[in-house]
Structure 1
């Protein structure tokens, strides 16, 4: 039995709201918004409670610069990102030996689409995505074991899209949605 609270969209954090307000301020300073548009969008962003509401407040802004790819690498050992870390638009993770754990459930995700490129030799990887995220792992090639991922039933498309690509040798990727 699914509880009513499981069907609700994930609430945004103060970090998410602050990132949205910064984007609005930058767009206003660059002349992309009039004073009236800035007031209206700022009001929407400050009262938004879900990712979908925040995205609507930012929908009239020009597309963000995709930026460069951030790379996390290790020859052996663990690669771990948890808590309130800022997720770049493009993230490349490289590890010859060892484990990878990326927890995006409390991370600051400023982009509607995040591309994660994995290049792993041996060892397992675990990625925890926000409750309302949409996951696309079709671009990942696994050499030994298949990816473990069970999409949420009844998920609403209010969250970011997480696209996972790359190659894994001897190991397994486990993807799960955060419980809260």
Structure 2
């Protein structure tokens, strides 16, 4: 039997290489997960992520012990990207314009991201999606004060209309950003006085 023995000195010297390799694998897994879940939503699988990252499933599970952990990491990342995209809307001085711009930008971005649209449509109230819904409700309240949203509209109305639109577009497998934008506009019209 020919076995190769490694010394503690060799293990210490190989450790930085292993850490760098593990870091690269983690980055590849996450990049693949972004693609898979954007395309397939919650129907995406760990084997699809592993295949796209060109690693084994065990490599995925080392970074993310469950599919739910991986989904939550992707949702969190997508919401951070959405924050960057919608920042100009939040900078608007006029509250009604801020609300309108935010809703349209949201719908345009949900068109390309199946996972995020499914998370909102399903009302997945994860710690990550709650701030988005809260932000929308706060913007709606400001627009209501400015007279651009019907006075009886509340956060539940917003959630039902917005999430309902998302759910139907997902069920119809619509991915056209122009169509999603149209339904964002219809959402705004439904909330007008």
Same fold (TM over 0.5): no
TM-score, with structure 1 as normaliser: 0.29
Which structure is higher in strand share? 1
Which structure is higher in helix share? 2
